[in-house]
Amino acid sequence: MAQSLSATTGSELESVRRLCQRLEFFVSQPLLQVRPLSHGESNQSYYVRTARGEYVLRCYPAESAVCRQQELRCQHAAAAKGLAPAPLCLNNHYQVMLSDYLANGVAYNFRVHGLPILLTAMARFHQLSVQTPVLEPGVYLRQLARAVTLSEADSVLMAVLQQAAQQLQQLPQDTVLCHLDLHSGNLLFAKKKLWLLDFEYSQLADSSLDLAAISLHFDLSAAQEQDMLLQYAGLRQQPELTEILTGKLNAAKQLYSGFCWLWYQAQPVYEKQAKRWQQRLQTLAL
């Protein structure tokens, strides 16, 4: 979901420079360079260089309801295992987080880098121990739905989603620390390995939701999906997971599509994205 910041204005960068100068982290290290990295749907990221090092500054919207302390805990745990850049500073007053910068990184490309490197990183992330709430899909759907106005046709899709949520919770659970936003913009290939980025939605959830995200974001075929589940179960050293996850994947794909549809639906500037995820959900519900 990241996109180029080629249109970033000089005044915007000047505002970022002034913001950095107010952060205690930069008191003794004057700024040498500030440039845009990417715009996500809910934050802006900038490259910051001083004489001491290179950093990524993420700026969050003031109205965000995401728990940044939870995000920080998840990134710290991932960084400790070499799965993420190290977070260095969280300032809730200014709504920013500072992390290490990974030089010469490129966005993960499914065709170039392949599925095994992604599954390996994800399986390792799923085995981390971090104290977070457990995602209840039905509850989360209702929270998302309250932020939008649903048509009669939309209400039919909501019924499909609630049924998928019930189905997923009735099947054997595999509750792990999930990332819940696994797309190429949050996956960086650098230093000959894959790094996970952006942990604002990370929390305990069923592993099938992250697998559903991979399948949907990278348009896996049925054969590729089955290979993914087999590889993943092997990486977790739980071969029985293959059959369990196979039985849950379609419901998880419906739910993940529904989460994205409703999230985008609540953002007026993302009508195209909302429509695209709505259409994917409709296809999955057939």
> Residue 164: its pLDDT value, please?
98
Q: Return the residue matching tokens 């071969």.
A: 239
Per-residue pLDDT, averaged over 227-240, amounts to 98
pLDDT at 109 over 80: yes
CA-to-CA distance for 135 and 64, rounded, in angstroms? 18
Lowest mean pLDDT among 45-49, 58-62, 93-97: 58-62
Helix extents (H) in the chain: 10-22, 68-80, 110-113, 115-126, 137-145, 152-170, 207-217, 222-235, 241-265, 271-285
Exposed, middle or buried: residue 85 (CB in 10 Å: 0-12, 13-18, 19+)? buried
CA-to-CA distance for 245 and 48, rounded, in angstroms? 42
User: Two tokens at 227?
Assistant: 């290979």
Per-residue pLDDT, averaged over 268-274, amounts to 92
What would you measure as the largest C-alpha separation in the chain, in angstroms? 60
Exposed, middle or buried: residue 18 (CB in 10 Å: 0-12, 13-18, 19+)? exposed
User: Two tokens at 41?
Assistant: 């749907």
65: number of Cβ within 10 Å? 6
Instruction: Round the average pLDDT of the chain to a whole number and report it.
Output: 92
pLDDT at 1 over 50: no
pLDDT at 58 over 90: yes
Q: Tens of pLDDT along 8-47?
A: 567 888 999 999 999 999 988 889 999 998 655 556 899 9
> Residue 107: its pLDDT value, please?
92
> Residue 4: its pLDDT value, please?
34
Lowest mean pLDDT among 67-71, 83-87, 163-167: 67-71
Q: Return the residue matching tokens 């007053």.
A: 93
CA-to-CA distance for 285 and 159, rounded, in angstroms? 11
> Residue 9: its pLDDT value, please?
61
pLDDT at 2 over 60: no
Q: What share of the chain is helix, strand, coil (3-state, %, to 5)?
A: 50, 20, 30
CA-to-CA distance for 4 and 52, rounded, in angstroms? 27
Helical packing angle, 152-170 and 271-285, nearest 10°:
60
Residue-wise burial string across 107-116, b where 16 or more C-beta atoms lie within 10 A, e elsewhere: bbebeebebe
Cβ contact 171:140 at 8 Å: no
What letter does residue 218 receive in the DSSP assignment? T
Beta bridge partners of 97: 58, 90
62: number of Cβ within 10 Å? 7
Q: Tens of pLDDT along 129-144?
A: 999 999 999 999 999 9
Q: Can you tell me whether residue 116 is helix, strand or coil?
A: helix
Task: Give all strands of the β-sheet with 187-190 in edge-to-edge order.
Answer: 106-107, 187-190, 193-196
Q: Tens of pLDDT along 206-218?
A: 999 999 999 999 9
CA 135, 139, 141, 147 torsion-angle sign: negative
